[in-house]
């Protein structure tokens, strides 16, 4: 499903280029759920953004379902991103929109029109059916992240990228959210790549990959 080969990504640091990832390779099987861990600044989020097509590497390949996305032009990359699910630490909900509209907004931008029945079924599964008319500021942190999960899953993606999805939640809410995330991915056969600082949450996934010294281990 995901094959990363000899990935190099550098970032300008003053007058020099600093290696963030250096010849990093990683293989992830179909439907596998993988935690990505490592120290702050190790390149975890950079790796997620590269796989998500939000950044381009200096060299190396990222092969998703047999296609090397590093060779995509901007239009092809935009089409690729439409098929992904992405969850963020800071939720990134649109304050003026209701929960329902937040869930479907990105899908509609991508010219997809989720059925109302599908939205309600997913919201019920996530325990936010009674919140569909609420605004984001009326929700708890855990509820906001559940909206983020619904938004990411409504397109039925094959690959879900989660960047510190529990970073703003307490331990109990974190376990709750990750458990729901795992169950949904298992039910829908979705690959999950989750960046986390929590070793406990990382251990609950199928496999743990550590980013260290600009490379991936595990």
Flag whether 5 is in a domain.
no
The proportion of the chain whose per-residue pLDDT surpasses 70, expressed as a percent, equals 100
- Cβ atoms within 10 Å, residue 116: 11
- How sure is the predictor about 111, in pLDDT bands with cuts at 50, 70 and 90? confident
Torsions phi, psi for 78 (to 5 deg): -65, -40
The C-alpha atoms of residue 47 and residue 172 are separated, in whole angstroms, by 27
Through-space distance between the first and last CA atoms of the chain, rounded to whole angstroms: 17
- Please give the angle made by the CA atoms of 207, 213 and 216, to the nearest 5 degrees: 25
- CATH number for the domain harbouring residue 130: 3.40.50.300
Asked if residue 73 lies in contact with residue 106, where contact means CB atoms within 8 angstroms, the answer is: no
Confidence (pLDDT) at 15: 84
Flag whether 12 is in a domain.
no
Enclosing H/E stretch for 39? none
Q: What is the pLDDT of residues 24-34, one digit of tens each?
A: 999 999 999 99
- How sure is the predictor about 109, in pLDDT bands with cuts at 50, 70 and 90? confident
Confidence (pLDDT) at 46: 96
The C-alpha atoms of residue 67 and residue 63 are separated, in whole angstroms, by 5
Torsions phi, psi for 45 (to 5 deg): -65, -35
Nearest Cα to Cα of residue 2 among 36, 35, 32, 46: 32
Name residues whose C-beta falls within 8 Å of residue 46's C-beta, 6 or more positions apart in sequence. Answer: 9, 20, 21, 55
Asked if residue 147 lies in contact with residue 97, where contact means CB atoms within 8 angstroms, the answer is: no
Flag whether 20 is in a domain.
no
Flag whether 19 is in a domain.
no
Asked if residue 195 lies in contact with residue 44, where contact means CB atoms within 8 angstroms, the answer is: yes
pTM summary value: 0.92
Flag whether 115 is in a domain.
yes
**Domain range holding 211?**
29-56+73-217
Q: What is the pLDDT of residues 121-166, one digit of tens each?
A: 999 999 999 999 999 999 999 999 999 999 999 989 999 999 999 8
Name residues whose C-beta falls within 8 Å of residue 14's C-beta, 6 or more positions apart in sequence. Answer: none
Q: Is 118 exposed, middle or buried (0-12, 13-18, 19+ CB in 10 A)?
A: middle
If one counts the domains in the chain, the total is 1
The C-alpha atoms of residue 20 and residue 94 are separated, in whole angstroms, by 31
Q: What is the pLDDT of residues 177-186, one digit of tens each?
A: 899 999 999 9
Asked if residue 20 lies in contact with residue 26, where contact means CB atoms within 8 angstroms, the answer is: no
DSSP string, 114-130: --HHHHHHHHHHTT-GG
């Amino acid at each position: 499903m995901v094959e990363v080969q000899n990935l190099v990504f550098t970032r300008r640091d003053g007058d020099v280029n600093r290696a963030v990832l250096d010849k990093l390779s990683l293989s992830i099987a179909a439907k596998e759920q993988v935690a990505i861990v490592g120290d702050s600044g190790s390149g975890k989020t950079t790796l997620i953004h590269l796989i998500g097509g939000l950044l381009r590497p200096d060299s190396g390949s990222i092969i998703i379902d047999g296609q090397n996305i590093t060779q995509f032009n901007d239009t092809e990359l935009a089409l690729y991103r439409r098929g992904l699910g992405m969850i963020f630490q800071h939720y990134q909900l649109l304050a003026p929109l209701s929960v329902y509209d937040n869930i479907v907004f990105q899908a509609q931008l991508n010219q997809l029109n989720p059925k109302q029945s599908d939205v309600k079924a997913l919201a019920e599964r996530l325990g936010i059916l009674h919140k569909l008319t609420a605004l984001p500021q009326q929700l708890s942190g855990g509820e906001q992240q559940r909206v983020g999960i619904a938004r990411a899953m409504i397109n039925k993606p094959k690959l879900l990228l989660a960047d510190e999805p529990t970073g703003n939640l307490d331990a109990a809410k974190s376990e709750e959210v990750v458990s729901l995330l795992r169950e949904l991915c298992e039910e829908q056969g979705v690959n999950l790549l989750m960046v986390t600082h929590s070793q406990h949450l990382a251990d609950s996934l199928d496999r743990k990959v550590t980013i260290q010294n600009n490379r991936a281990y595990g």
